Chain A
Amino acid sequence: MFAESSLNVRNKRIQNLFRILFLIMTILLIIPVVAILATLIAKGGSIISIDFLFTHPTNGMTAGGIFPALLGTVWIVAVALLASVPLGVAAAIYLNEYAGDNWFTRIIQLAIINLAGVPSIVHALFGVGAFVIFFGFGTSILAAGLTLAIMTLPVVIVSTRESLRAVPQAFREACWNMGATRWQTIRRVVLPNAVSGILTGVILEVSRTAGETAPIMFTGAVFFLPFLPQGVFDQTMALSLHLFVIATQVPGVPENLPFGVALVLIAMVLLMNSISIAFRMYLRGKKKW
């Protein structure tokens, strides 16, 4: 009764074919990731030390450490975060929880999508025009951070909206039916259950921000500075730009130096991604419905 017909055999063969095809694609995907990491570790791993991370560059940036660049990146990312998170989260809450489906919100949506598609070099020029010149911040950490904030805003908005949308509508209606206002509902029920998703999205964004070069090189990051930034109105070095500079602009740099810088940059990004993933797993364990 359960003997295999020729049709069964054929279906099974096709099913195996596709399974192997998808498996090959998946493996192909991993190759570049592994290759990048392996190259960086092989060529740059030897230079990494506590001293490398916490001392200034010396000998025209051909030796020494990367501390000013590392610190500068932290500064810029922090400013970008402080600006883009409140703005993006507030906009997402408005769009998802208050706004109806009308021409006004549709125009805003369109603007957000378009903002996400603007090339980073255009953001850089906008940053120069708006923050450096118009607002008079000069080339500074503030101007660079705000430029990055504008650039990452669409992603913060989209990921926040996704998290809000994942909270079932029935929860909101149950809350409204008790006489709660929209804001009471958002504060008591929606936000507490969306906050994990929002934070995860934000952390992922930070990691992407850390690697951007074009938007910051006109707005706040510089070639070389002999001192550390003292505040947001100072210029600063940054890891991404430092890597570009020593790899292409400075003669006589030993090979392991740029690879070492790249490794630190990648490690920073991976570290933040790992934190984000760990956080998500922790919160998923506490999932409330």
Chain B
Amino acid sequence: MVDMSINPATADTLIAAIAQDPVKLGVSDLHISYGGAPALSIVGLTVKEHEIFGIIGPANAGKTSFLKALNRMDTFNPNMRVKGEILFNGLNVRNLKNIYALRSRIGVVFPLPVGLPLTIYENVALSPRLRGINRTGDLDVIVERCLTRAALWDEVKDRLGSLGSLLSGGQQQRLTIARALSQEPDLLMLDEFSIAVDPVTTMRIEHVLKELKQDMTIILVTNLVQQARRLADRTAFFLAGECVEIGETEDLFSGDVKDQRTRDYVEGKFG
């Protein structure tokens, strides 16, 4: 049974913890499996505040499972088992009672954009509304700010009342990003966001991400090695359910690696 109540005390401790800890995310001894089949094991991994943390690796490496564990998406899937410690702002998300407060602090963008069947305006205003912001003036400000930051405002400002789910793929992906930003997250997780997006839009979003780094921590899962190189401060290489290597992105790409498999993947020899 899921706990339906939002406990303001827990939310406060979360927010208090955010202010102090420079380490955004500490993962140790993490094991994820689906119906008994192991999907990902991580001995230790840290994401620092205000960095873009890239995760690269071929399909089935466990990249998406990692994001799902952070956001407690295991509660959606009865087959998914997560063991180990995930400290988000110093609190173990595995023991967190108030997963709603946790999720509202973490924005997620998936490979395929999910425009909710609401107007463009309401897509972005939904999260503020869930937090109890209902005054039209306040919502207008948030909607404009988030759409602008997601590089979508100019294209949709004249038709905020039309349906978000009818936008083009690339626009929907930016709408999804605007929606994630409307949560005012302190962690933004993007899972192969550019898979359904044209190269020009991809570049625009990448530019946006670099700016967003000022305000939040970003985890960027990508199967485009060069995208990680362009954006990430540090990068982890996942392979077949194992975190092979974590390092400064430049080190990884200049060949300064501890594991031969990382070099091979980065150089495009497999994957």
Contacts and interface: CB of A to CB of B under 8 A. Distances in A.
Interface of A: 100-101, 170-171, 173-184, 188-189, 192-193, 288-289
A180 B116 contact: no
B165 A289 contact: yes
A100 B165 CA distance: 29
B33 interface: no
A178 B117 contact: no
Contact of A178 (B6, B115, B127, B165): B127
Contacts of B115: 289
B100 A180 contact: yes
B173 interface: no
* 10 A-B pairs closest in CB distance: A179-B104, A288-B117, A179-B103, A174-B114, A289-B165, A179-B100, A178-B127, A170-B114, A177-B108, A289-B117
B83 to A, nearest CB: 21
A193 B117 contact: yes
Given A171-B117, A175-B126, A182 B2 contact: yes
B125 to A, nearest CB: 10
B37 to A, nearest CB: 20
Contacts of B105: 179
Contact of B6 (A171, A175, A181): A181
A132 to B, nearest CB: 39
B87 to A, nearest CB: 19
A177 B100 CA distance: 8
Interface stretch (B16-24, B54-62, B70-78, B141-149): B70-78
B179 interface: yes
Contacts of A175: 116, 126
B101 interface: yes
A113 B4 CA distance: 30
A288 B161 CA distance: 13
B183 interface: yes
B127 A173 contact: no
Contacts of A170: 112, 114
Contacts of A171: 114, 116-117
Nearest to A287: B117
17 contacts: A101-B78, A171-B114, A173-B76, A176-B103, A177-B71, A177-B73, A178-B103, A178-B107, A178-B127, A178-B180, A179-B100, A179-B127, A179-B183, A180-B130, A183-B4, A188-B118, A192-B117
Given A177-B103, A178-B183, A181-B4, 20 more contacts: A170-B114, A173-B73, A174-B116, A174-B176, A175-B116, A175-B126, A176-B73, A176-B76, A177-B106, A177-B108, A178-B107, A178-B130, A178-B180, A179-B104, A179-B183, A188-B126, A188-B129, A189-B118, A289-B163, A289-B165
B78 A100 contact: yes
Nearest to A171: B116
A175 B100 CA distance: 11
Nearest to A177: B108
A101 B106 CA distance: 29
Interface string B100-140: 11111111101010111110000000110110000000000
Contacts of A189: 116-118
A105 to B, nearest CB: 13
Nearest to B126: A188
A193 B116 CA distance: 10
